[in-house]
């Protein structure tokens, strides 16, 4: 066992602290090439990660960069810097610690490149940018350790894939580099370890004491949850009472729009003026930082928040977490619960607030899963090739490279360990020539082979490539700020699609305030306060998580019960009513209801496959209906069902579910649908085919820009096997689209498809009518509607 | 041909579903904003390597329209090339264009993207008057009998953007014909200054369909 050097020992002793066992293990294993620490929040995880670094650098002879710390959040990097600086100053250690994110000033970033600190705290994107500079080899030459925080969260996204590619690059620049990953409790630590370690190095997994089980329950309310809808506003009196009873409460919501609505109504009811703030990813940085600072100083009773507070920052005094809306995923719920009570060995306290009666069922199932330690998660496939394309372009920015060497490097990254040479070469060809079947760019290749090394043809391209670094491709956002005469301070941002529906004078809700849209100025929405007006609600389509397979199965098993004594009466009655007028879905059967409503024929399929797969099912079914001449108009999906409406009723829905035909439809479905086009756009941005739109960079001449949909259609017609079409298809197959879940459902269900033709909407289908995210079907029926609408408008205008 | 016929200062014109304008009496076909060579220009300027299929795609549609209308005169209303250097099309495309131009009058009107002659045959004009109609790139306020392009008008209907003609008693503005072109919504203030009351938007697509031109929101019946 390695003992702590004297200053550390004294520092711990002066606080009456002793080193945690897992901190000691990491110290003992300081020389291991890769280690993964799995620990609950509050377990001294970060210090465990940094302790070996502090001990190594404390000697004072060290110059240059020693440790790189990567976090998925900018705020976390800044927070860790503050937390680390304190012990370093108190022990008077000669260690320089700095953070570097998109928010760091230009001068500081330049200085950091010339004279790096001992410990640099940064994000995956800032690291990728650093690696794109010509002086990257000098900056990183002496790097000894890299700490990847919240590695479980990064491992679920392309950001993590990009980070692992960057680590493979770092390992070449600093061959002795050791890796440490810090993870929350996950269902498959082995997968995270393989993701993190240099392939094929081993990676030891260290488990910290998980602490006591959480104290978790459903919030009991006087008013029952509404039949449909989201937001949980019915529960506001009880939520306020809980806020009053606790020191600091985090109130989690699944979407920003719901957080905004809840926050507004919470304040309407907050007669005692309890200090309650709101925090989500679309608020201006200044606003978020104010909330974070107030939180740290203990000035707030509660914060209404979204996933923006899922990770990282140690809030210290939080003693209650309230989750509003179904948690969708048991693992994330457990991690959110962990935000409460950061003191080790004290149980976290959490309350669930289902937003409607359906979610009561899901919350109950999630509660039982948490108690049973039944975590969920779907394994992720190999690293996507659009991320690799970006990595190749970044490599070219930093200097000429040999294909063989880069291939060897790339396949040492966990997510790309199984990448074949032809796949790599296709990505390289895409970066160099566009990779088209029609060779058109001989003169204008992006990368040229010179003396066996790949080089940028035109060094000016480096600027665009650097501007485009990163794999986060959110919907296009428009900034919102106060009108100039009111100071012009930023409030946050809304999606461009929402902004385009606004007309001057209309009001909407942002940051808990009702504001009036005045006009568009320098690509920002200018607003004035409009208190008391009934606002529009900004729609943030953002990521909507799918309910996990495990949780869905639990729900289906619950529905099979004779009665539901554990559920509130209203919910139990609702389920009983569904059983009476139709029937309840079951694990090994597929229930399909058809009924007329609002003058359209409707079909509802209860697949319980999660939102993404239900969405795909909607696409496939409407395509089949189109082929059968059934005139579908559109559909909407939730985690448990897909509702399709059209001009004609479907006489035999079971026939639509023929697996062979669905699979064939899936292969042929690339015929322009909205989800695929959205997927393509993200892939094309990540791979560097199109530039993401940077705030303020957009020109006013809108007719000059054309949408990525046109590129998608062009490729589909002329080059359907192009690399980016392949990646789009793959992406569609996994994450976003989840065709795998549809196949699993079909094989599980077999011929057990129950069709009930009913005369009106059923209790279980009713909530779907209020769902957002309706997808139009671009088919014969819509052509007919365009014709009818144009004719009607002509007639109304007296022009027919 | 699923076109939509209308009169402009006494000339009988047909808006074709492809976005081309046909003047049967003169056996004349007008198209606007082809933006040929756009992907090549991006690549030349060290930008993205876009799928290099748009020139062929645009020419294929133009070829079909010329064949169907048996046009003797073709007027390209400017921004035919994405810039002056883009006039040097790759050989197969250049040959295709030459074949289309052979045996008919071909007029290139200058646009802001191609403000001078390019290395292709045909006539190069700042504008052109043919009978009662004047063809130019960008509409001028107060003009009558004017055929122009430049703005790439489109409308959003039933949840999708559709390229459209804008027509009133004095002028017609053509949609962009090129594959790699975006659009400006027809309710943009730029259009209300130009289009008179009762203006129509004629949708492109499978059938050219008329509808009232959308007005900027909040200004209906201005």
Which domains does chain B show, CATH number per domain? 4-212 (3.60.21)
Residue A302, beta-bridge partner list: A249, A276
Between chain A and chain B, the number of residue pairs with CB atoms below 8 A apart is 122
CATH class of this structure's domain A6-207: alpha beta
Would you state the pLDDT for residue A389?
98
Q: Residue B89: which pLDDT band, with cuts at 50, 70 and 90?
A: confident
Domain ranges of chain A: 6-207, 215-371, 477-529, 582-785
- Tell me how far apart the alpha carbons of residues A457 and A477 are, in angstroms, rounded to a whole number: 33
Strands B160-167 and B200-203: antiparallel
Would you state the pLDDT for residue B84?
84
- A457/B contact by beta carbon, under 8 A: yes
What is the signed CA dihedral for B184, B188, B192, B196, rounded to 10 degrees?
Answer: 50
Closest residue in chain B to residue A430, using alpha carbons only? B49
Helix (H, G, I), strand (E, B) or coil at A174: coil
* Cβ contact A790–B50 (<8 Å): no
Facing B44 at nearest CB: one of A444, A704, A718: A444
For the beta sheet containing A477-482, the strands, ordered from the edge strand earlier in sequence to the opposite edge, are: A490-495, A477-482, A524-529, A513-521, A507-510
- A705/B contact by beta carbon, under 8 A: yes
Would you state the pLDDT for residue B222?
31
- B102/A contact by beta carbon, under 8 A: no
- Tell me how far apart the alpha carbons of residues A252 and A259 are, in angstroms, rounded to a whole number: 8
- Tell me how far apart the alpha carbons of residues A665 and A409 are, in angstroms, rounded to a whole number: 39
- Tell me how far apart the alpha carbons of residues B136 and A406 are, in angstroms, rounded to a whole number: 54
Would you state the pLDDT for residue A539?
55
- Tell me how far apart the alpha carbons of residues B112 and B138 are, in angstroms, rounded to a whole number: 9
- Tell me how far apart the alpha carbons of residues B179 and B87 are, in angstroms, rounded to a whole number: 16
pLDDT at B190 over 90: no
Backbone phi, then psi, for A42, in 5-degree steps? 85, 5
Q: Which of residues 115-174 of B touch A (CB under 8 A)?
A: 151-152, 157-160, 162
Helix (H) or strand (E) segment spanning residue A37: strand A34-38
| Bond into A200 cis (ω within 30) | yes
* Cβ contact B53–A717 (<8 Å): yes
Would you state the pLDDT for residue A674?
63
Closest residue in chain B to residue A774, using alpha carbons only? B159
pLDDT at B218 over 50: no
Quick: pLDDT tens for A99-122: 998 778 889 999 999 999 999 999
Beta strands (DSSP E) in A155-195 are 178-183
Cβ burial A378-406 (10 Å sphere, 16+ → b, else e):
bebeebbbbbbbbbbbbbbbbbbbebeeb
Residues of chain A found within 8 Å of residue B200, distances taken between Cβ atoms = 799
For CA atoms B37, B41, B44, B50, give the dihedral sign: negative
ipTM of the modeled complex? 0.89
Would you state the pLDDT for residue A104?
85
Closest residue in chain A to residue B44, using alpha carbons only? A444
Domains A6-207 and A215-371 share a fold: yes
Residues of chain B found within 8 Å of residue A467, distances taken between Cβ atoms = none
Would you state the pLDDT for residue B75?
98
* Cβ contact A689–B180 (<8 Å): no
Q: Which residue has the tokens 């052109």?
A: B128
Would you state the pLDDT for residue A696?
37
Backbone phi, then psi, for A529, in 5-degree steps? -65, 145
Would you state the pLDDT for residue A736?
56
The DSSP string of A306-345 is -GGGTSS---SSEEEEEEES--S-HHHHHHHHTTS--STT
Question: Model-level pTM?
Answer: 0.83
Facing A504 at nearest CB: one of B53, B56, B218: B218
Measured between alpha carbons, how far is residue A430 from residues A2, A517, A689, B42, B49 in Å?
50, 44, 9, 16, 9
Would you state the pLDDT for residue A53?
95
Q: Collect the ranges in chain A with pLDDT lower than 70.
A: 42, 228-230, 311-316, 341-345, 474-477, 496-497, 500-501, 522-523, 533, 536-545, 667-675, 693-705, 734-737, 772-773, 775, 778, 782, 799-800
pLDDT at B64 over 80: yes
* Cβ contact A689–B218 (<8 Å): no
Average pLDDT of chain B, as a whole number: 90
Quick: pLDDT tens for B104-137: 999 999 999 988 777 778 999 999 999 999 999 9
B220 CB-near residues (< 8 Å, 6+ apart): none
Helix (H, G, I), strand (E, B) or coil at A761: coil
* Cβ contact B49–A689 (<8 Å): yes
**Homologous superfamily (CATH) for A215-371:** P-loop containing nucleotide triphosphate hydrolases (3.40.50.300)
Residues of chain A found within 8 Å of residue B183, distances taken between Cβ atoms = 702-703
Would you state the pLDDT for residue A531?
77
A547 CB-near residues (< 8 Å, 6+ apart): A326, A328, A329, A362, A555, A608, A610, A611, A639, A640
Would you state the pLDDT for residue A204?
94
* Cβ contact A786–B184 (<8 Å): no
Distance from CA of B51 to the nearest CA of A (A): 7
Would you state the pLDDT for residue B209?
92
Identify which of A492, A151, A87 has the alpha carbon closest to the alpha carbon of residue A291.
Answer: A492
**More confident of the two residues B170 and B115:** B170
CB distance B167 to B199 below 8 Å: yes
- A718/B contact by beta carbon, under 8 A: yes
Share of chain A above pLDDT 90, in %: 46
**A476: DSSP letter:** P
């Amino acid at each position: 066992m390695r003992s702590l050097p004297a200053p550390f020992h004294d520092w711990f002793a002066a606080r009456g602290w002793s080193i945690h066992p897992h901190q000691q293990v990491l110290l003992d294993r300081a020389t291991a090439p890769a280690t993964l620490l799995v620990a609950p929040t509050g377990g001294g995880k970060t210090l465990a990660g940094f302790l070996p670094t502090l001990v190594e650098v404390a000697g004072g002879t060290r110059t240059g960069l020693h440790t790189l710390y990567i976090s998925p959040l900018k705020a976390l990097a800044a927070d860790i810097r503050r937390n680390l600086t304190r012990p370093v100053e108190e022990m008077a250690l000669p260690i320089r610690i700095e953070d570097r994110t998109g928010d760091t000033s230009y001068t500081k970033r330049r200085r950091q490149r010339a004279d790096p600190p001992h410990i640099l705290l940064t994000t995956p994107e800032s690291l990728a940018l650093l690696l794109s500079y010509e002086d990257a080899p000098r900056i990183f030459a002496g790097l000894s350790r890299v700490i990847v925080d919240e590695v479980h969260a990064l491992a679920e996204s392309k950001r993590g894939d990009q980070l692992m590619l960057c680590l493979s690059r770092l390992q070449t620049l600093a061959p002795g580099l050791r890796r440490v990953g810090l993870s929350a409790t996950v269902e498959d630590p082995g997968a995270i370890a393989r993701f993190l370690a240099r392939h094929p190095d081993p990676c030891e997994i260290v488990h910290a004491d998980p602490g006591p089980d959480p104290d978790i329950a459903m919030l009991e309310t006087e008013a029952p949850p509404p039949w449909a809808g989201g937001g949980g506003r019915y529960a506001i009196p009880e939520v306020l009472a809980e806020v009053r009873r606790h020191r600091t409460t985090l109130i989690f919501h699944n979407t920003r729009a719901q957080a905004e609505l809840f926050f507004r109504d919470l304040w309407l009811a907050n007669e005692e003026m309890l200090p309650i703030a709101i925090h989500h990813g679309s608020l201006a940085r200044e606003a978020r930082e104010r909330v974070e600072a107030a939180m740290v100083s203990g000035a707030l009773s509660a914060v209404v928040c979204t996933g923006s507070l899922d990770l990282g920052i140690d809030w210290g005094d939080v003693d209650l977490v309230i989750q509003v809306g179904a948690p969708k995923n048991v693992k994330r719920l457990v991690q959110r619960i962990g935000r409460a009570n950061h003191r080790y060995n004290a149980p976290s306290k959490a309350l669930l607030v289902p937003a409607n009666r359906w979610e009561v069922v899901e919350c109950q199932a999630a509660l039982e899963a948490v108690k049973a330690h039944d975590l969920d998660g779907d394994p992720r496939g190999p690293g996507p090739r659009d991320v690799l394309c970006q990595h190749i372009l970044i490599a070219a920015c930093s200097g000429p490279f040999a294909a063989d060497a880069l291939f060897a490097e790339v396949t040492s990254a966990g997510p790309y360990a199984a990448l074949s040479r032809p796949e790599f070469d296709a990505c390289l060809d895409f970066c160099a020539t566009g990779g088209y079947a029609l060779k058109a760019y001989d003169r204008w290749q992006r990368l040229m082979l010179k003396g066996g090394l790949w080089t940028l043809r035109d060094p000016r391209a480096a600027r665009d490539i650097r501007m485009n670094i990163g794999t986060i491709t959110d919907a296009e956002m428009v900034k919102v700020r106060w009108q100039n005469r009111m100071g012009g301070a930023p409030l946050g941002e809304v999606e461009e699609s929402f902004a385009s529906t606004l007309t001057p004078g209309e009001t909407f809700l942002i940051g808990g305030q009702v504001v009036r849209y005045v006009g568009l100025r320098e690509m920002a929405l200018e607003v004035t306060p409009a208190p008391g007006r009934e606002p529009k609600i900004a729609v943030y389509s953002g990521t909507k998580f799918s309910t996990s397979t495990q949780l869905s199965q639990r729900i289906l098993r619950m529905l099979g019960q004779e009665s539901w004594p554990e559920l509130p009466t209203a919910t139990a009655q609702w389920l009983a009513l569904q059983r009476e007028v139709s029937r309840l879905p079951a694990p090994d059967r597929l229930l399909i209801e058809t009924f007329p409503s609002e003058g359209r024929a409707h079909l509802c399929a209860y697949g319980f496959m999660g939102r993404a797969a239900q969405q795909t099912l909607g696409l496939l079914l409407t395509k089949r209906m189109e082929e059968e001449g059934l005139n579908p108009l559109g559909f909407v999906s939730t985690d448990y069902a897909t509702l399709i409406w059209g001009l004609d009723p479907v006489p035999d829905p079971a026939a639509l579910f023929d697996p062979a035909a669905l699979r064939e439809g899936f292969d042929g479905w690339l015929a322009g649908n909205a989800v695929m086009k959205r997927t393509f756009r993200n892939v094309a941005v990540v791979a560097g085919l199109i530039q993401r739109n940077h705030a303020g960079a957009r020109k006013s001449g809108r007719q000059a820009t054309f949408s990525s949909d046109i590129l998608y259609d062009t490729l589909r017609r002329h080059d359907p096997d192009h690399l980016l079409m392949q990646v789009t298809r793959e992406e569609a197959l996994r994450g976003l689209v989840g065709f795998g879940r549809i196949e699993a459902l079909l094989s599980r269900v077999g011929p057990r498809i129950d069709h009930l033709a009913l005369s009106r909407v059923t209790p279980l289908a009713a909530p779907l009518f209020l769902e957002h995210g309706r997808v139009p079907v671009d088919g014969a029926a819509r052509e007919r509607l365009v014709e009818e609408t144009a004719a009607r408008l002509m007639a109304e205008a007296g022009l027919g | 041909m699923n076109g939509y016929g209308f009169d402009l200062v006494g000339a009988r014109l047909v808006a074709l579903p492809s976005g081309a304008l046909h003047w049967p009496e003169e056996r004349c076909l007008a198209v606007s904003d082809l933006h040929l060579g756009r992907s090549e220009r991006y690549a030349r300027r060290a930008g993205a390597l876009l799928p290099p299929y748009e020139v062929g795609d645009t020419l294929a549609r133009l070829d079909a329209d010329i064949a169907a209308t048996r046009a003797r005169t073709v007027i390209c209303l400017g921004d035919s090339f994405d810039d002056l250097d883009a006039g040097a099309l790759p050989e197969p495309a250049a040959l295709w264009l030459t074949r289309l131009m052979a045996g008919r009058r071909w007029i290139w009107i200058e646009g802001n993207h191609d403000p001078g002659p390019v290395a292709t045959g045909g006539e190069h004009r700042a504008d052109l008057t043919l009978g009662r109609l004047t063809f130019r790139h960008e509409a001028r306020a107060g003009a009558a009998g004017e055929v122009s392009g430049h703005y790439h008008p489109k409308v959003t209907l039933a949840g999708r953007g559709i390229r459209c003609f804008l027509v009133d008693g004095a002028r017609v503005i053509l949609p962009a014909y090129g594959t790699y072109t975006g659009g400006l919504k027809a309710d943009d203030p730029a259009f209300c200054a130009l289009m008179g009351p009762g203006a129509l938007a004629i949708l492109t697509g499978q059938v050219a369909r008329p509808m009232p031109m959308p007005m900027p929101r909040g200004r209906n019946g201005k």
